[in-house]
């Protein structure tokens, strides 16, 4: 069943729906009650975006109230304790525990109750959801199961006896007054902010969930913003923007102004404590210890500095941080040589360590096939088109869109059996079968941490849109992603980014993609090429760093192997050179520059296409009268 197949029947019953991630419970939507919809057009739009989305049934004050039983036998227990029978109502059996989700029509009583929680279940009546029937998740035991309709009847009004029982046994869901923090929202805000320490990174994001407990979450997040330099007004402004964009309600003065003023009288200590360390502080904010006086802070640091895993943020001597270094320090430093993985026939380096390369083309031109061919060369060594390698290179191939069966087929077609040093990252093998968005700084850190486990030499990202998941016309997004690529390069990785071409033939989106690239290759079909002619590709080097001189070339894939194509002009130049003609003679005969003839000769000689003097003497026929007459004519013209 697709998203629309599940969502439309629920919406027809008056249940507002939201999309949830495939094979999972969580949603990516943020906002208040308006995030749920009954609108068929919106449901169809979400279905077009991803038909595999699960559906969330949203409890709303103008719709249904959801009684989520988290323990088996809870309904029977309530009936026994109250002496009332639960009225027949629309009921769904949950996938993981097989417990009941009871759907009730809202009443004045249920609206007043709002959202409440209990160790055995939850009442969700105000902008909270359960996973809808027909949705499928990965359960705790690792199997996939669906939420199923257990009783398909109209919604019964929320019973008063159930409300009385809830009041007696349930507690109000934690809010600002109880000091509870929305852990998911806080973790995301924290990860995004700490990636660059730039508050602007926090806004306009789709991956930050709704903050359901606003005051305590903003209070704890404010601790990260308190760096000893920001004023209370600046902190208050950031908190207000965060609360307005992601909160389940508009922030109040106590959420922002009071917190900002309270922080201003504390000394900041940047994320420097391990669990179990003693703290001289009256208040602790997730991961931060705030001290009431500067003396208390300095005393604690002096006593505990040897136990800190992370350096404490400088307080008085921030200006002494070494941003610059003398040239002789770099000149005298012994740095490891940059390992060359791939070179051309004449020895020009193409791929090396600490290197960024982009390969882009229209759909269907063969960019993934070329990336696979390069992967084979890196693994096994030898020759691939104009490229040579010693092999023995470890490769991580991150594919964001293909199913495993097609990846398997491409391995067999383009790489073969020697794949000991090849690793894959595929959406189909990841939780929820969703490729994590590498535009997310938190995901970037997790990606780099996982790289340390296999330590590849080369990383292939195929394609940028599938693994990065960001708008390539967004300058801010490119800034974040380019910083990520630079981190990979500084760590010694060679990264090959496979990207799509836009309608104008250049790479899709902004040209920021090329800013940090060392090598950019555009793949295009040869002039006059028809898709029915097979896979033929022209390699065009649009950016080459390090002063290398790489020659464009054409190639084709025929009968399971790649081969170079020589254009008609190059072929004619080579044929004339192999008759013993001089560079100048070929130039005049064909009307091309001597530099062009020299370039073709050098490239052809590296490929073994130019005859040696000994071979020429055996092949060269006796000169005819016409040959002598032609040579005399050339000499007269040149003189």
pLDDT at 305: 55
For 452, the token pair is 């340390």
The CATH code of the domain at 344-565 is 3.40.50.300
Share of the chain above pLDDT 70, in %: 81
More confident residue, 476 or 254: 476
Q: Average pLDDT over the chain, rounded to whole?
A: 81
Range 263-278 average pLDDT: 44
What is the CB-side half-sphere exposure of residue 571 using CA atoms within 13 A? 6
pLDDT for the residue 356: 95
HEC profile of 87-105: CCCCEEECCCCCCEEEEEE
Higher-scoring residue by pLDDT: 208, 10: 10
Predicted local confidence at residue 275, as pLDDT: 37
Give 617 or 265, the one with higher predicted confidence: 617
Specify whether the CB–CB gap between 105 and 64 falls below 8 A.
yes
Is the pLDDT reported for residue 2 higher than 70?
A: yes
List, for residues 15-58, the tens digit of each pLDDT value.
999 998 888 887 766 554 456 899 999 999 889 888 988 999 99
Terminal-to-terminal C-alpha distance of the chain: 83
Residue 256's pLDDT band (cuts 50, 70, 90) = confident
Q: Which fold has domain 3-173?
A: Prim-pol fold (3.30.2250)
Residue the block writes with tokens 């081969």: 563
Query: Greater confidence, 226 or 454?
Result: 454
Q: Which of 64-78, 117-131, 619-633 has the lowest mean pLDDT?
A: 619-633
Decide which of 530 and 408 is more confident: 408
pLDDT band of residue 120 (cuts 50, 70, 90) is confident
Question: What is the rounded distance in angstroms from the CA atom of residue 257 to the CA atom of residue 263?
Answer: 10
Q: Is the pLDDT of residue 280 over 60?
A: no
Calpha distance 340→457 (Å, rounded): 11
- The pLDDT value recorded for residue 421 is 92
Q: Is the pLDDT of residue 396 over 90?
A: yes
The mean per-residue pLDDT over the stretch 264-282 comes to: 41
Q: For residues 146 and 144, give the distance between their C-alpha atoms in angstroms, rounded to a whole number.
A: 7
pLDDT digits (tens, 9 = 90+) for 347-383: 889 999 999 999 999 888 889 899 999 999 999 999 9
Residue 585 has pLDDT above 70, yes or no: yes
pLDDT exceeds cutoff 80 at 223 = no
**Strands 100-105 and 156-157, how do they pair?**
parallel
Most confident of 148-152, 436-440, 585-589: 148-152
Q: Could you check whether 3-173 and 344-565 share the same CATH topology?
A: no
User: DSSP letter at 527?
Assistant: T
**CA 134/CA 145 separation, integer angstroms:** 10
Q: Compute, in degrees rounded to 10, the torsion defined by CA atoms 524, 551, 606, 627.
A: 90
For the segment 466-488, what is each residue's pLDDT rounded down to a tens digit? 999 888 888 888 888 999 999 99
In the chain, where the domains are located = 3-173, 178-316, 344-565, 569-638
Q: Residues 405, 406, 412, 416: what is their CA dihedral angle, to the nearest 10 degrees?
A: -110
Q: How confident is the model at residue 136 (pLDDT cuts 50, 70, 90)?
A: very high
- pLDDT per position as a tens digit, 155-214: 999 999 998 888 877 754 433 333 456 777 887 888 888 777 788 889 888 778 777 677
Which pLDDT does position 378 carry in this prediction?
95
pTM, rounded to two decimals? 0.47
Q: Would you say residue 308 has pLDDT above 70? A: no
């Amino acid at each position: 069943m697709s998203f629309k197949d599940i969502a439309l029947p629920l919406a027809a019953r008056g249940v507002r729906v939201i999309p949830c991630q495939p094979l999972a419970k969580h949603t990516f939507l943020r906002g208040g009650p308006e995030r749920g919809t009954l609108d068929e057009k919106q449901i169809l739009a979400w279905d077009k975006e991803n038909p595999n989305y699960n559906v969330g049934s949203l409890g709303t004050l103008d719709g249904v109230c959801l009684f989520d039983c988290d323990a088996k036998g809870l309904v029977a227990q309530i009936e026994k304790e109250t002496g009332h029978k639960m009225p027949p109502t629309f009921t769904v059996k949950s996938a993981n525990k097989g417990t009941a989700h009871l759907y009730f029509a809202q009443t004045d009583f249920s609206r007043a109750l709002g959202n409440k929680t209990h160790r055995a279940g939850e009442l969700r009546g105000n902008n909270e959801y359960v996973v809808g029937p027909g949705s499928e998740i990965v359960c705790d035991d690792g199997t996939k199961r669906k939420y199923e309709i257990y009783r398909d009847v109209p919604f019964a009004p929320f019973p008063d006896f159930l409300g009385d029982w809830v009041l007696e046994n349930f507690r109000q869901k934690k809010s600002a007054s109880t000091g509870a923090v929305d852990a998911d929202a806080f973790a995301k805000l924290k990860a995004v902010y700490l990636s660059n320490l730039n508050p602007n990174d926090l806004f306009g994001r789709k991956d930050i969930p709704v903050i359901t407990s606003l005051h305590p979450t903003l209070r704890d997040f404010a601790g990260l913003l308190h760096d000893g330099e920001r004023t209370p007004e600046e902190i208050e402004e950031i908190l207000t923007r965060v609360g307005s964009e992601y909160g389940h309600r508009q922030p109040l003065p106590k959420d922002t102004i009071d917190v900002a003023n309270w922080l201003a009288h504390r000394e900041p200590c940047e994320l420097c404590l391990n669990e179990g360390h003693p703290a001289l502080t009256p208040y602790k904010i997730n991961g931060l210890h705030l001290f009431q006086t500067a003396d208390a802070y300095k005393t604690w640091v002096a006593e505990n500095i040897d136990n800190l895993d992370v350096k404490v943020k400088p307080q008085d001597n921030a200006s002494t941080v070494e941003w610059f270094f003398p040239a002789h320090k770099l000149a005298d430093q012994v740095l490891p040589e940059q390992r060359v993985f791939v070179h051309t026939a004449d020895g020009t380096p193409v791929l090396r360590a600490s290197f960024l390369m982009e390969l882009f083309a229209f759909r269907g031109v063969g960019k993934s096939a070329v990336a696979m061919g390069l992967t084979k060369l890196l693994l096994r060594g030898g020759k691939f088109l104009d490229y040579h390698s010693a092999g023995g290179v470890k490769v991580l191939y991150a594919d964001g869109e293909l199913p495993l069966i097609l990846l398997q087929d491409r391995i067999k077609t383009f790489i073969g059996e020697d794949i000991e040093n090849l690793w894959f990252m595929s959406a189909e093998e990841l939780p929820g079968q969703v490729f994590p968005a590498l535009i997310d700084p938190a995901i970037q850190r997790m990606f780099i941490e996982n790289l340390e486990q296999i330590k590849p030499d080369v990383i292939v990202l195929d394609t940028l849109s599938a693994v990065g998941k960001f708008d390539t016309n967004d300058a801010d997004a490119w800034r974040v992603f380019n910083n990520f690529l630079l981190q990979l390069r500084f760590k010694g990785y060679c990264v090959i980014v496979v990207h799509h071409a836009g309608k104008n033939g250049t790479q899709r989106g902004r040209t920021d993609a090329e800013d940090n690239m060392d090598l950019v290759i555009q793949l295009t079909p040869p002039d006059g090429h028809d898709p029915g002619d097979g896979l033929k590709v022209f390699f065009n080097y649009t950016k080459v760093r390090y002063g290398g001189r790489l020659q464009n070339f054409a190639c084709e894939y025929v009968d399971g192997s790649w081969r170079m194509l020589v254009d008609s002009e190059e072929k004619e130049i080579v044929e004339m050179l192999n008759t013993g003609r001089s560079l100048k003679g070929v130039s005049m005969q064909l009307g091309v520059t001597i530099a062009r003839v020299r370039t073709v000769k050098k490239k052809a000689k590296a490929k073994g296409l130019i005859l040696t003097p000994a071979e020429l003497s055996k092949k060269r026929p006796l000169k005819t009268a016409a040959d002598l007459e032609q040579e005399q004519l050339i000499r007269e013209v040149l003189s």
